A and B are shown apart, each in its own frame.
Chain A
Amino acid sequence: MKKFVFKKQRPALDPSEIRNHMDFDRFLKSRHAVSKRWIIKSKFLMIAGISAVTGVLLFTLFNKNHEDHILKSFIAPPVPALDVPADKIIVAAQRDTTILFRTGSLISIPSGSFEDENGKIVSDSVEIRYREFHDAVDILCSGIPMNYDSAGITYQLESAGMMQIEAYRNNKPLRLRSGHPLTVNMISASPDRNSYNIYLLDTTARKWNYVAENTAANYSCFPVYEDLHPDRRKKSGQPEYAKAPVRPRLATKHATSFMIDYDSLEFPELASLSGIRFEPLHTIPAYKKLSGKIWEDVRITRSGDADQYVVTFTEGKEKLQIDAVPVVDEKNYADAMKKFAIRQSAYTARLKARLAEKEASEDSLCRINAQFRSRATNSDMTARFEDFINDSYTAASRDLLVYRTFAVSRLGVWNCDRPCPFFSAMTQHIQKGARIASFYANGAELDMKYIYFVKRKINSIYSVTPSSFRRFPQTTEPDVMIGITYDNKLFYLKDEDLHNSDKGGNVRFNMKEVDNAIVNASELKKLFLI
């Protein structure tokens, strides 16, 4: 039998016919009727229904929450026994709470932040489950992916620290209320201030979503609170300008220009310009032809230079990038200047208020810090905090520790990271070459589930799955190669052993088995010198 029938130019449905069927009241009534018919249709269906309900109940009992199930299916720790455990902290939902996590991170929870799956605000206690990932071994053990897809190009991310925060009541997942973000000031040993961004892991779409640029402040003086969440700006009713408004520029007469609709929340600095057009900075070859084309997507990003933007049009593989400046025509110029003056003065006032807020914030947070340090030295929390800093960050002095600030608008996995050129280069290498890798230990071939590469100076891992073992990357640059077999045994090669194994061409690795006595991530870190 033919699987498919192809038909060209079928007559379209008549709009009046569609309108006749699109009657919501009738739909609602017929729905009730259908439901009733189902109930009385037969005893068999009732029994089936009861069985289904019982099944669902049993499923619910054995799978305590759906969210967990989704997370587990996407975030799959390669060796479950080595997964980074979450701390469980009970807080009162109707009180402002600041949690000092054992690493020194601060989690600020405003009162009334949580709601249940029915949208009901939680008023009693909430269990916060929180964990952090600071280095390559933490990342590896967690099973959290480190690749980021941007416009079809895959980048490998390097992390300055990652955390997962979830909330539960009676083992049922809660969610954050819209416009009620939490603030997590997570301690980080990557002091580079400016090159990291904040990403949120979307476990449904299975990708990292860019949220905002990161702000980092020195550890000894706590960070300025930056509101990274646009919802908050909307709710407050007072626009908070992240950037100074752009002074209107008059359009050049007879010059080429085009209009695009942009999100004024994303580009608040353009909000004072009405009738805005974008004027290309350079001549675009074949512009006439291109301007008549229908594009699938258009993106606008700020250029490094002041007041300049990069507008990217895409259609399948075709891409057109235009450096442009926003301009207004003569008709709208006077109005734009008026609006600009109002916005400029509001911006200046807001900036002033924000500086005052920053000083107050630094003051109060420094006070918390001072109080914390002055507590009795036998305080368990203090000891754990000190241990963390002394043990985990021996290479970094305290002055090198910074806080990374997350305005948490959704519960889940948040990452402060940046694309990592080192591992991205390995991806390119894989795309070019083709060579086969095989793995052995004590003469027996190993059936590997995953291979991971680690470069000690970089907080990331690079993973290779069996499908890529025929296009295996060079191994002379990474410091450690870790293999996990299908029966969850760990093997590794590091430094000279790893580098000497790679003689080019097809490569056979004689791996070392990780001792069975090693049962947690910190012992692995010692073994791999991470």
Chain B
Amino acid sequence: MIASDKMTLKSSYHRTEADIQAEMDQVTAAQKDPAAFAEIYTKYYSAVLSFIYHRIEDRETSFEICAQVFYKALDNLRKYQARGIPFSAWLFRIAANEINDHYRKHRRAQLITIDENGFQELCQDLCTSVTEDRDLFAALEKLDSRELELINMRFFEQRPFAEIADIMKMNESACKMKIYRILEHLSVILKDLRS
């Protein structure tokens, strides 16, 4: 359901069963004929690229990784089974794996792109007025990569819990719980850093 008029729903992730079925039909067609992959490719190219660019500094590398994601998706399309999860979640999982491979290979510090609104929202949720960005960055750096990825998706990419859960292969409520726990943990780290 998508709210309109005064009350608005920002998530484009929420879909009806009919939408998911229509997408599954496209996937089934592409499983038989790679040319039919065009629709999926066009539909998700920007989203996947933005997911990658958010995590990779160099724009050319981002384009290369994005192409690699779609090569892999097309190569493995036959193995794909829908199970009620949107196709995009599968693409993002491939993208996340490719990004991890990239950092493993190049041994560089992983980039986290901070969205200003998300940053403010995170400060509010932590009930803290962070006077200097570096306080929060220092606290964030103490998280492990999976925890930071959850915070990144939730606050800096503003993804709904359902989508994060699908990408991270988690249950939605477990995902919410995990994020709340990370926030609690972050508050403690911030307090420690200040004291």
Q: Which residues of A contact B (CB under 8 A)?
A: 1-10, 13, 17-18, 21-22, 24, 27-28, 30-31, 34, 117-119, 149, 152-154, 178, 202-207, 209, 230-231, 234, 258-263, 265, 277, 290-300, 313
The secondary structure that dominates the A interface is mixed
Within 8 Å of chain A (Cβ to Cβ): is B186? no
Question: Is there contact, CB below 8 Å, between A28 and B34?
Answer: yes
Question: Is there contact, CB below 8 Å, between B171 and A207?
Answer: yes
Cβ distance A322 to chain B, nearest Cβ, rounded Å = 10
Question: Is there contact, CB below 8 Å, between B49 and A24?
Answer: no
Q: Which residues of B contact A (CB under 8 A)?
A: 1-11, 14, 16-18, 21, 28, 31-32, 34-35, 37-38, 41-42, 45-46, 49-50, 53, 57, 59, 62-63, 66-67, 70-71, 74, 78, 81, 83-85, 107, 109-114, 116, 119, 133, 137, 140-141, 145, 148, 160-162, 165-166, 171-173, 176
| A27-B70, A260-B1, A296-B160 known; A7-B7 Cβ under 8 A | no
Question: Is there contact, CB below 8 Å, between B110 and A258?
Answer: no
Q: How far is the CA of A230 from the CA of B140 in the complex (A)?
A: 46
| A7-B112, A260-B7, A296-B9 known; A204-B85 Cβ under 8 A | yes
Question: Is there contact, CB below 8 Å, between B42 and A261?
Answer: no
Residues on B with beta carbons closer than 8 Å to the beta carbon of A117: 78
* Contact among A21, A263, A313 for B18, CB-based, below 8 A: A263
Q: How far is the CA of A234 from the CA of B109 in the complex (A)?
A: 51
Q: How far is the CA of A8 from the CA of B162 in the complex (A)?
A: 26
* Contact among A13, A27, A34, A204 for B49, CB-based, below 8 A: A13
Known: A4-B109, A152-B176; 14 extra A-B contacts, CB below 8 A, are: A4-B111, A5-B109, A18-B46, A24-B42, A205-B84, A205-B171, A260-B2, A261-B1, A263-B16, A263-B18, A293-B7, A294-B9, A295-B8, A296-B11
Cβ distance A463 to chain B, nearest Cβ, rounded Å = 16
Question: Is there contact, CB below 8 Å, between B110 and A5?
Answer: yes
Question: Is there contact, CB below 8 Å, between A298 and B7?
Answer: yes
Q: How far is the CA of A203 from the CA of B28 in the complex (A)?
A: 21
Q: Which residue of B lies closest to A230 (CB)?
A: B17
CB-based closest 6 A-B pairs:
A291-B6, A204-B83, A259-B5, A261-B2, A8-B114, A2-B109
Q: Which residue of A lies closest to B165 (CB)?
A: A205
Question: Is there contact, CB below 8 Å, between B67 and A297?
Answer: no
| A7-B112, A296-B9 known; A149-B173 Cβ under 8 A | yes
Q: Could you pull out 28 A-B pairs where Cβ atoms are within 8 angstroms?
A: A3-B141, A7-B112, A8-B133, A18-B46, A21-B49, A21-B66, A21-B67, A24-B42, A27-B67, A28-B34, A149-B172, A153-B173, A202-B84, A204-B83, A204-B84, A258-B7, A260-B1, A260-B3, A261-B2, A263-B17, A265-B18, A290-B7, A292-B6, A294-B10, A296-B10, A296-B161, A298-B1, A298-B9
